[in-house]
Amino acid sequence: MGSDLAGNDNWQMTDTEAASDRSRLVTWEDPLIGAAKAKGMSGLEYIEALIDGSIPPPPIVNLMNMRVVAAEVGKVTFTCEPNESHYNPIGTVHGGLVCTLLDSVAGCAVHTTLPKGQGYTSLEIKVNYLRPVLADTGTLTAVGIVTKPGRRAAFVDATVSDEQGRLVATASSTLLVFPIEA
């Protein structure tokens, strides 16, 4: 960049740098629409409604180029299209994108096991990164599988694979299960 960014909020780009700018427009619908509808549905019904488009996806889905593509009780599959807007300072897709993808499939997998009136939140996630992801890696596929559902806590294993089927990352996660108000 035109100057050292560390600790400087007023940096300027040179004309050469400005000429290579890239941009990405992210749009989303009101996230409270889906949240309100979720209260009256089982978790599986809610995830199926996301898949068929009858409920708008949460904003994070569009921001990260993710999509819920399949769900059954205890298992959810997402796809993700990484691009250079996800890059970190060393020129690879930031691990946070992969972690967010893993956290999302883990949470949604648990959601499919919950009855109406129950919600969840992540308590912890442990991620193992196995290979780098680049903008040209292609579509990532993430699968979350509940290993132990529960009334208070649930446990999930999740994986992310690249377009060639190579394992990119794995995770294990613990989620808190709790009642939500209708």
2 pLDDT band, cuts 50/70/90, is very low
Residue written as tokens 């694979």? 161
73 vs 26: CA distance, rounded Å: 31
Tell me how far the alpha carbon of residue 126 is from its chain's centroid: 15
Output the CATH code of domain 25-179.
Answer: 3.10.129.10
| pLDDT(6) > 70 | no
What pLDDT, in 10s, does the model give residues 7-18?
444 444 444 555
Residue-level pLDDT at 182: 63
What pLDDT, in 10s, does the model give residues 40-99?
999 999 999 999 999 999 999 999 999 999 999 999 999 999 999 999 999 999 999 999
181 pLDDT band, cuts 50/70/90, is confident
| pTM score, whole prediction | 0.87
Residue 56, both tokens: 């708008």
Strand, coil or helix: 107: helix
The DSSP-derived string for 82-99 is --GGGB-TTSSB-HHHHH
Q: Any idea where the domains of the chain sit in the sequence? A: 25-179
Backbone angles phi and psi of 142, in degrees to 5 = -115, 135
65 vs 35: CA distance, rounded Å: 20
Residue 74, both tokens: 């205890």
Question: From residue 119, how far is each of 70, 100, 145, 152, 175 by CA, in Å?
Answer: 20, 18, 17, 10, 10
56 vs 144: CA distance, rounded Å: 21
| pLDDT(21) > 90 | no
What pLDDT, in 10s, does the model give residues 116-127?
999 999 999 999
Question: From residue 164, how far is each of 49, 96, 132, 137, 161 by CA, in Å?
Answer: 29, 21, 14, 9, 8
